[in-house]
Amino acid sequence: MSQNPENDFVYTTPRHVGIIMDGNGRWAQRRMLPRSHGHKAGVDALKKTVRAAREFGIEYLTLFSFSSENWSRPEGEISELFALLRLFIRRDLAELHKNNICVRVIGSSEGLPSDVLNLLVEAENLTRNNDAQVLVIAFNYGARDEIARAMKLIAKKVKNDEISSDEIDSQLISDHLDTKGIPDPDMIIRTSGEKRLSNFLMWQATYSELIFVDCLWPEFDKSTLSDCLVEYGNRNRKFGGLVKDTAS
């Protein structure tokens, strides 16, 4: 349990929060601005959210930054998203490191420009031993692709007699996903009023509390996150069992 110093309420802090940052384009369109402005404003919201999550004591924060389906966007928008990632790592990596944040990247390396890949590897290597918070950047990520890659790894191990097919269980599958070692998300937030997972952490989200908020991603801030924590605190998590009060 944690005390929110500003709002004076008590809540159970989720250990791991995942966020589908949706609505950058609509935010820009409503202001008659190009979509790229929405993504820039999205990075500002991202930075504020990392800070707020740390203040709230959230240990793992996973941000859906580029999905494997985003390749279907116009080339110019894809380049813009890559440019923002480059800028974010070049400008903000030192501060993340100073704040003892460990950066993990999940997703496929396929198709990514080599300099983007190098920057992601550099961020992971520099911050590897940090332990204040884990910031998981889902970049070129899609849950079906992640599960397919895990299946390939497992099939290879069975073929090489490293494991037997009888050993395949849900833990072994989890251990071959990009999120190996990261606890499943307790809460997944999606902004912009859309109500779906869109290929985000589908294996890991089995018992996640899903929270949908109407605000567009660039409008998301500490107080929205705090509202989500309150809603999370009001949910009864059963994990397929019974709620404590009704269990006797």
Binding site for ligand FPP (CB under 6 A): 21-26, 39, 42-43, 46, 65, 70, 81, 84-85, 88, 217
* Cβ distance to ligand FPP smaller for residue 77 or 175: 77
Non-local CB neighbours of 64 within 8 Å, separated by 6+ positions: 18, 19, 20, 21, 138, 141, 198, 200
Q: Which of 4, 7, 8, 22 is catalytic?
A: 22
d(CA 100, CA 127): 7
Min dist CB 213 to ligand FPP, Å, is 14
Is residue 22 annotated as a catalytic residue, yes or no?
yes
* Cβ distance to ligand FPP smaller for residue 65 or 204: 65
d(CA 80, CA 226): 30
Min dist CB 30 to ligand FPP, Å, is 9
Ramachandran assignment for 4, one of left (phi > 0), alpha (psi -120 to 50 degrees), beta (any other):
beta
Q: Are strands 16-20 and 60-67 parallel, antiparallel or unpaired?
A: parallel
* Cβ distance to ligand FPP smaller for residue 30 or 244: 30
Q: Which of 4, 70, 99, 130 is catalytic?
A: 70
Min dist CB 214 to ligand FPP, Å, is 13
Min dist CB 234 to ligand FPP, Å, is 27
* Cβ distance to ligand FPP smaller for residue 11 or 88: 88
DSSP H helices, 167-237, are: 170-174, 222-233
Rg of the chain taking only CA atoms, in angstroms: 19
Is residue 221 annotated as a catalytic residue, yes or no?
no
Catalytic residues: 22, 70
